[in-house]
């Protein structure tokens, strides 16, 4: 085939490609979603199922305030009806002779309409206390919702850091395999030249083969960690995401004592429990006031018409009536129901106080425990960077010594293993530090203010 034929064939392939099936041309690569940890948290709070449940709980509590407030608004009802008398009603009365006489009353068609108004005028504190209780309860629910959102954020951050950890772990495993493969290739060349024994070549090949399963396992763990993060974010499992943050260390900007104080002052679950105590106290007052009277303003308008000649009513066939007045309702005796309900409300108030004290103690203990573990991780992190540098130097020297015939293959393998271990130890400590820091942010309610220099949080 000459050059002209080759060019013609190439041009034909290009034309066929352009004129081929549209699906082949439109088969674009999937869109990549770049995501920092703050983006992941925001996405989970906007689209996550758990966040949706929290929002609905707040909506229910806020609606309860409207329900209580509606009790002070006038109630207006309209009633209307039509009745056709197949047999007219009668009345009986005795005549002069003592006989009973009956007379039909009404007409064939009966029309009725009425408008009723009832307005609470004074409730002797019942509605006021109930409204205060509902408002305070709604605020407690909102604060509890804020803490639930903080816990969702903590779960997302932990999953994000787990995905970062799995990714770096897989990268270290791949790097370790590459180092072993380079050493095995080098030994193979030296063996071919008669400078190394067949035994050393076999041993290097075995080391490479033994490391490959670990690389495959770490790759699977990376996939699982990413899919778990997608699940929390409400993303499809086939969504392609790239995590832009990294596991890093940033010094804390707060002391242990300040953290404990902030935990009690700013934690949303503690604030919610504190508000719930106030709501329970208002509920107690509202329940105790249920044995007080209620004063209503009542009004009524009635329209009535009857006819036996169709649906047209004459003036003499229509009657109207109306009234306005006050009514008082006072539960004089309710079988002691309100007394026992008041006892329940008082017990709920005391229960809320005990729960607040318990939550404050747990918050202090939880934060001290997290702080202690965080300090331990910081101490362990301090020497890991230097350990990696020393392990890299040791591995490089072992290779040089091996090439010079001074060191053995075992020296190279040991130094490579030490380097991999040093990298994994630092990675694990950075992962623990990031997760503990996220827990501390949730426990103190401070968020990113704990580490001003930490990006993406």
Residue 31 is predicted with a pLDDT of: 84
Residue 404: pLDDT band (50, 70, 90) is confident
- Is the Cβ–Cβ distance between 97 and 103 less than 8 Å? no
Residue 9 is predicted with a pLDDT of: 42
Interval 304-331: pLDDT, tens: 998 887 777 878 888 999 999 999 988 8
**What is each CA distance from 199 to 108, 205, 206, 308, 368, in whole angstroms?**
118, 10, 11, 121, 56
Residue 126, pLDDT above cutoff 90: no
Q: What is the mean pLDDT of residues 88-103?
A: 82
Nearest residue to 277 (alpha-carbon basis) of 341, 356, 347: 356
**What is each CA distance from 388 to 55, 218, 418, in whole angstroms?**
47, 21, 9
Residue 6: pLDDT band (50, 70, 90) is very low
Rg of the Cα atoms in the chain: 41
**What is each CA distance from 40 to 47, 158, 350, 381, 431, in whole angstroms?**
10, 11, 40, 26, 17
- How much of the chain, in percent, has pLDDT values that exceed 70? 91
Residue 46 is predicted with a pLDDT of: 87
Residue 104 is predicted with a pLDDT of: 83
Residue 11, pLDDT above cutoff 70: no
Residue 3: pLDDT band (50, 70, 90) is very low
Residue 1: pLDDT band (50, 70, 90) is very low
Helix axes 198-233, 409-444, angle to 10 degrees: 10
Mean pLDDT of the chain: 85
Q: What is the mean pLDDT of residues 196-222?
A: 90
Between 106 and 396, residue with greater pLDDT: 396
Residue 24 is predicted with a pLDDT of: 42
Between 399 and 297, residue with greater pLDDT: 297
Counting Cα atoms < 13 Å in the Cβ hemisphere of 37 gives 26
Residue 30 is predicted with a pLDDT of: 67
Residue 447: pLDDT band (50, 70, 90) is low
Interval 145-190: pLDDT, tens: 888 888 999 999 999 999 999 999 999 999 999 988 988 888 888 8
Least confident of 246-260, 276-290, 371-385: 246-260
Pairing type for strands 90-94 and 100-104 reads antiparallel
CATH for 33-73+123-293+330-450 is 1.20.1600.10
- What are the extents of the domains in the chain? 33-73+123-293+330-450
Q: What is the mean pLDDT of residues 10-31?
A: 48
Interval 223-271: pLDDT, tens: 999 999 998 888 898 889 999 999 998 887 777 888 777 777 778 888 8
Alpha carbons 88 and 440: distance in angstroms, whole number: 82
Q: What is the mean pLDDT of residues 110-138?
A: 89
Least confident of 15-24, 106-115, 251-260: 15-24
Alpha carbons 445 and 443: distance in angstroms, whole number: 6
In 10 A of CB 416, how many CB atoms? 22
Residue 29 is predicted with a pLDDT of: 58
Give the pTM.
0.72
Residue written as tokens 């108004």? 117
- Is the Cβ–Cβ distance between 381 and 430 less than 8 Å? yes
- Is the Cβ–Cβ distance between 37 and 456 less than 8 Å? yes
Interval 420-437: pLDDT, tens: 999 999 999 999 999 999
Residue 132 is predicted with a pLDDT of: 87
Residue 15: pLDDT band (50, 70, 90) is very low
Strand partners, 82: 111
- How much of the chain, in percent, has pLDDT values that exceed 90? 36
């Amino acid at each position: 085939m000459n050059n002209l034929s080759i060019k013609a064939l190439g041009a034909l392939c290009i034309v066929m490609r352009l004129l081929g099936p549209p699906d082949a041309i439109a088969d674009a690569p999937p869109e990549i979603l770049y995501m920092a940890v703050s983006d992941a948290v925001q996405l989970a709070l906007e689209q996550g199922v758990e966040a949706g449940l929290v929002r609905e709980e707040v909506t229910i509590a806020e609606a309860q305030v409207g329900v209580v407030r509606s009790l002070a608004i006038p109630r207006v009802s309209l009633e209307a009806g039509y009745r056709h008398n197949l047999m007219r009603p009668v009345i009986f009365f005795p005549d002069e002779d003592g006989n009973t006489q009956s007379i039909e009353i009404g007409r064939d068609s009966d029309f009725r309409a009425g408008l009723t108004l009832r307005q609470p005028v004074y409730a002797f504190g019942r509605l006021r206390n109930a409204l205060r209780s509902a408002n305070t309860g709604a605020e407690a629910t909102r604060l509890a919702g804020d803490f639930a959102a903080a816990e969702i954020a903590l779960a997302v951050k932990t999953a994000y850091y787990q995905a970062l950890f799995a990714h770096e772990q897989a990268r270290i495993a791949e790097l370790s395999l590459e180092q072993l493969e380079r050493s095995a290739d080098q030994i193979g060349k030296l063996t071919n030249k008669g400078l190394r024994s067949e035994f050393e070549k076999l041993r290097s090949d075995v080391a490479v083969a033994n490391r490959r399963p670990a690389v495959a396992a770490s790759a699977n763990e990376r996939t699982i960690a990413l899919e778990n993060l997608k699940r929390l974010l409400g993303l499809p499992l086939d969504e392609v995401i790239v995590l832009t943050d990294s596991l890093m260390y940033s010094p804390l900007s707060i002391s242990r004592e300040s953290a404990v104080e902030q935990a009690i002052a700013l934690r949303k679950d503690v604030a919610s429990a504190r508000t719930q105590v106030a709501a329970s106290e208002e509920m107690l007052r509202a329940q105790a006031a249920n044995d007080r009277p209620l004063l209503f303003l009542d009004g009524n308008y009635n329209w009535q018409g009857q006819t036996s000649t169709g649906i047209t009513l004459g003036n003499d066939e229509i009657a109207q009536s109306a009234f306005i007045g006050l009514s008082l309702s006072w539960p004089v005796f309710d079988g002691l129901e309100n007394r026992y309900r008041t006892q329940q409300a008082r017990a709920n108030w005391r229960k809320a106080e005990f729960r607040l004290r318990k939550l404050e103690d747990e918050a202090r203990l939880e934060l001290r425990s997290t702080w202690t573990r965080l300090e331990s991780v910081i101490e362990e992190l301090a020497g890991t960077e230097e350990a990696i540098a020393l392990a890299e130097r040791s591995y490089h020297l072992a290779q040089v010594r091996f090439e010079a015939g001074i060191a053995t293959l075992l020296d190279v393998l040991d130094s490579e293993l030490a380097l991999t271990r040093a990298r994994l130890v630092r990675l694990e400590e950075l992962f623990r530090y990031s997760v503990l820091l996220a827990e501390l942010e949730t426990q103190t309610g401070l968020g990113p203010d704990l580490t001003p220099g930490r990006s993406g949080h």
